Structure 1
């Protein structure tokens, strides 16, 4: 089964359904709708849950909008861009992966 990791601080947001997507660079663009993955914490590799990938959208950094921020459980687009620049300082093309918790 495929695997995806998240920072530990996001676990409650994922399990509560507040965080319904993640944005990754091209190295993690192999996910596709219908794929079931196991989600783990990035820091200590602890299983969080199973997720079904609902959608995959390639998006340019400059085209990120309120829909993307809301799915990431962030109130503003500028906050989303700030967080992403910390993780991917120079990436222009990203992958918006939406998911739902299935177990």
Structure 2
């Protein structure tokens, strides 16, 4: 079986599959994804494959410049989004937004 290209916490799987989560915000270690990339997606917890996505856009963002639109694309409120990002990436300010759609 092919390896997964990107993983998400299992708690986001349902939102991704339903099209409610259409972006992911990552640190520099995952800034290499480009528009047009087709990625196998797995769960972070067990690396189990659950879908394939196509990257539709990428951009840079800081924690302070996150907007309500980012939160909506993540299917969260803005305070929830900022808290999740701070929990996953403590002490970081620069991030990379990967917009995607399931294929």
The TM-score by the shorter chain falls in which range? over 0.9
2:47 equivalent to 1:45: yes
Shift of 1:51: 0.3
- 1:61 — aligned with what? 63
- 1:23 — aligned with what? 25
Count residues in correspondence.
101
- 2:7 — aligned with what? 5
Please tell me the root mean square deviation across aligned C-alpha atoms, in Å: 1.1
Find the residue that maps to 2:32 and give its secondary structure.
coil
- Where do 5+ consecutive residues of structure 2 fail to align? none
- 1:94 — aligned with what? 95
> TM-score under structure 1 normalisation?
0.94
- Where do 5+ consecutive residues of structure 1 fail to align? none
- 1:78 — aligned with what? 79
Find the residue that maps to 1:9 and give its secondary structure.
helix
4+ aligned runs moved over 2 Å, structure 1 = none
